[in-house]
Amino acid sequence: MRKLLCSAVSFAFIAWLVSPAQAGMVDTYVVADGVEDELTDTSRALLDDLDSSGSVTVGDVIYGWVAISGVNPDPNGYGLQPNRIVIVFSAKIVSQSGTRYTLDYNDTDSHDLLDLLPPALHPKNGRTGTLGQDEIAVVISGPNPVSPVIDPNVFAAGNAFNVGYQYEATLGLVGPEDFFEADLGVGANNERGGFTVMDASGSYGNSPSVIYIPVTVTDLGGVTHSVEVSLEGTIFAPGANGYDFSDLSNFRINAAPEPATFALWGLIGAAGATYLRRRRVS
């Protein structure tokens, strides 16, 4: 009886470790099943005009937040409560060709991720108290829907997500085909991006039991990229609610169980079968 109890406890503990119930909100909706998920968003962004030129120029910083309004498909049938998953981003304009801009990592010049988020939500990348040369966005989640009318000054001061939010993941420009670019002409224009999911140790993948099957995205120059997370959307300038830009766009991601997870469950099953056979014999 004691052996049976110990075996049951061991199996339950291992199952608890790899259970999706231990994951964050993103892992609840972006299920690691090898089926591509599409996340629909509405975003707000501000321009930090560092050279005071009155226009968008190289060296300026664009920063903002993205509220995820839906996930499709939702294989668990949870029915995502809109705007509880948020992506906070900050990027510096590093090159320009006409109205097309390339954006990259934003260091501590102005409104980087450390400025926009409280310490508990800072990028988890294995580096303490500083950004590396990779991080472009932090995914967080909270108990209440995010309002699209967050005061731009409150957001810029880093006070928008102080209460009730948890860290989910860091997105970085670290993969060989990662990129981030936008057409910022007058009216409606396009944005494209490709990102890598980073975890707290600085390696790739938000969870040790998850891998990311590449998805494809075509940049504004017509070149197709293979990335872990893709972004395709339309930017509107001027933006809404006091922001310089707003957008409607989609992120795509295809998470799948890491092969070692399958192996672990196989070992659990084999151990259980062996134990049952022994019980029958005895």
Question: Model pTM?
Answer: 0.81
Lookup: tokens for 194: 């490709």
Does residue 175 lie within any of the structural domains? yes
Does residue 80 lie within any of the structural domains? yes
Does residue 14 lie within any of the structural domains? no
Going by pLDDT thresholds of 50, 70 and 90, the confidence category of residue 123 is confident
Please check the confidence at residue 10 and state whether its pLDDT lies above 70.
no
Does residue 87 lie within any of the structural domains? yes
CA atoms of 150 and 152, how far apart (whole Å): 6
Going by pLDDT thresholds of 50, 70 and 90, the confidence category of residue 203 is very low
Does residue 142 lie within any of the structural domains? yes
Does residue 21 lie within any of the structural domains? no
Instruction: Check residue 131 and report its DSSP letter.
Output: -
User: Which tens digit of pLDDT belongs to each residue from 168-190?
Assistant: 889 999 899 999 999 998 788 99
User: What's the total number of domains in the chain?
Assistant: 1
Helices 259-281 & 2-18 angle (0-180, nearest 10): 170
Pick the residue with more confidence: 214 or 133?
214
Does residue 107 lie within any of the structural domains? yes
Residue 239: give the domain boundaries: 35-255
Does residue 234 lie within any of the structural domains? yes
8 Å CB contact between 207 and 256: no
